[in-house]
């Protein structure tokens, strides 16, 4: 009887550890996915910064000389730049509030937290991409 109890307890412990490892794998996969989406968006930030610099130069030129062609597009230039700056700020806010789940957070909470962070980062990526595409298209027409 004692041996049977020991085996049952042993099986329960192994099952518990096994389930814990599976959840931990899910959390680890979500952490990797979060890192991947973040890294993809960071790459966009370099291009976004270059586009913002072009927009800034055109804005400054238009503000200093109302006779140049860019002057008639000044409001559009400022709007496009503000969209890119907004996406950059959203990215910075995301990074400031993100921290990898530690061992103190349950797997269920970690999964929910990471899925929310991934969804938010995908939204930032989408907004940044759209803003860059719009600005690049506009710049091709104006330059």
The proportion of the chain whose per-residue pLDDT surpasses 90, expressed as a percent, equals 63
C-alpha–C-alpha distance, residues 122 and 114, integer Å: 12
pTM of this structure? 0.77
In a domain, 68, yes or no: yes
Cα–Cα distances in Å, from 86 out to 36, 43, 82, 105?
Answer: 22, 17, 6, 31
In a domain, 72, yes or no: yes
In a domain, 4, yes or no: no
Give yes or no for a contact between 133 and 141, defined as CB atoms under 8 angstroms apart: no
107-125 mean pLDDT: 96
Structure confidence at residue 23 (pLDDT): 54
What does the chain come to in residues?
143
* Greater model confidence, 98 or 74: 98
141 half-sphere exposure, CB direction, 13 A CA radius: 10
In a domain, 10, yes or no: no
In a domain, 125, yes or no: yes
C-alpha–C-alpha distance, residues 106 and 100, integer Å: 12
In a domain, 100, yes or no: yes
**Domain carrying residue 77:** 24-142
Q: What's the structural domain count of the chain?
A: 1
Least confident range from 4-13, 90-99, 111-120, 121-130: namely 4-13
In a domain, 2, yes or no: no
- For residue 50, which phi and psi values (nearest 5 degrees)? -65, -40
In a domain, 8, yes or no: no
Task: Give 42-86 pLDDT, tens digit per residue.
Answer: 999 999 999 999 999 988 988 887 776 667 888 899 999 999 999
Structure confidence at residue 13 (pLDDT): 45
Place of tokens 């980062």: 121
């Amino acid at each position: 009887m004692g041996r049977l109890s020991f085996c049952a307890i042993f099986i329960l412990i192994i099952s518990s550890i096994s389930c814990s490892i599976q959840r931990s794998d899910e959390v680890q996969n979500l952490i990797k996915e979060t890192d991947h989406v973040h890294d993809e968006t960071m790459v966009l930030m370099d291009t976004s910064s270059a586009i913002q610099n072009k927009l800034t130069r055109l804005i400054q030129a238009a503000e200093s000389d109302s006779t140049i062609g860019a002057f008639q597009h000044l409001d559009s230039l400022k709007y496009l730049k503000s969209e890119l700056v907004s996406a950059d700020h959203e990215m910075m806010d995301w990074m400031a509030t993100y921290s990898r789940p530690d061992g103190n957070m349950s797997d269920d909470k970690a999964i929910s937290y990471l899925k929310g962070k991934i969804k938010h980062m995908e939204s930032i990526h989408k907004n940044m991409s759209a803003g860059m595409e719009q600005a690049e298209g506009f710049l091709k027409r104006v330059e």
